[in-house]
Structure 1
Amino acid sequence: MGAVTFETLAFGTTADEAFTSAVEDAKHMHGHNGYTGTIAEKTSFTIIPEHEHKGRQKRTVARELIDQGDQRIQRKRGPAGAINCSGTKAANRYREQHGLEGTHGDVWLFFGWAAH
């Protein structure tokens, strides 16, 4: 099977909670049979340190890491990348769309390669 890239936003009081929520949502939407090309294929993630993306568009950073074949996220069966997006326009929009204004937690961007 091949691999495709994915990007997804998720909310949680911790990165672990946001990741679990993103995986469960993807499984619900795309099935549990594997090879979905989504975060549903992932079992772990690695956080990209803030100094690597501070003041930059988070999705741009994620796409650059994918395009550059960054060792941390390059394998379809390896970990997803994770960037904390809290305070960005995308995170604020996500909070509004999901009724999360004023709720404690962070919006995370998960990204990488997944089996398809």
Structure 2
Amino acid sequence: MGAVTFETLALGKTADEAFSNAVEDAKHMHGHAGYTGTIAEKSSFTVIPESEHRGRQKLTVARKLIDQADQRIQRKRGPAGAINCSGTETAKRYREQHGLEGKYGDVWLFFGWAAH
């Protein structure tokens, strides 16, 4: 049993709702058996403060935190990282691709390590 990195976007009225949506989507797509290497293995998240990613590419920041083994997100059984992506081109594309234009909520990027 190893670990792999994951990155996923989700929409929610709150970060908690977006996280729940992301976990449920991953369970639907990858099953409920565990060791999927997805956000389905996570039970919590930690929000990365805006001061750490303001004006920067969100995915680049997430990958750098993974590469640097940031203590907040380095454990496969620990929390996922979360970055609010609302107002970015990534969020706009996500909304368009998933038919979510006009839906209320923020687009969040969840990332980290998961059991595989």
Aligned partner letter, 1:73: I
2: CA distance between counterparts of 1:75 and 1:99? 33
TM-score with structure 1 length normalisation?
A: 0.99
TM-score by length of 2: 0.99
Task: Determine the C-alpha separation between the residues in 2 that align with 1:103 and 1:31.
Answer: 27
Q: Does 1:22 align with 2:17?
A: no
Identity of aligned residues (%): 85
Three-state SS of the structure 2 residue aligned to 1:59 is helix
Q: CA RMSD in A?
A: 0.5
Between the aligned partners of 1:33 and 1:15, the Cα distance in structure 2 is: 25
2:75 corresponds in structure 1 to 75
Quote the Cα distance in structure 2 between the aligned partners of 1:94 and 1:87. 11
Q: Give ranges in structure 1 of 5+ residues lacking alignment.
A: none
CA distance in 2, matches of 1:35, 1:26: 12
- Structure-to-structure mapping, 1:48-59, within 5 angstroms: 48-59=48-59
Q: In structure 2, how many angstroms separate the alpha carbons of the residues matched to 1:49 and 1:102?
A: 26
- Identify unmatched segments of 5+ residues in structure 2: none
Equivalent-residue separation in structure 2 for 1:41 and 1:55 (angstroms): 30
Aligned to 1:37: 37
| Residues 66-105 of structure 1: per-residue CA shift (max 9 Å, x gap) | 0000000000000000000001101000111112112210
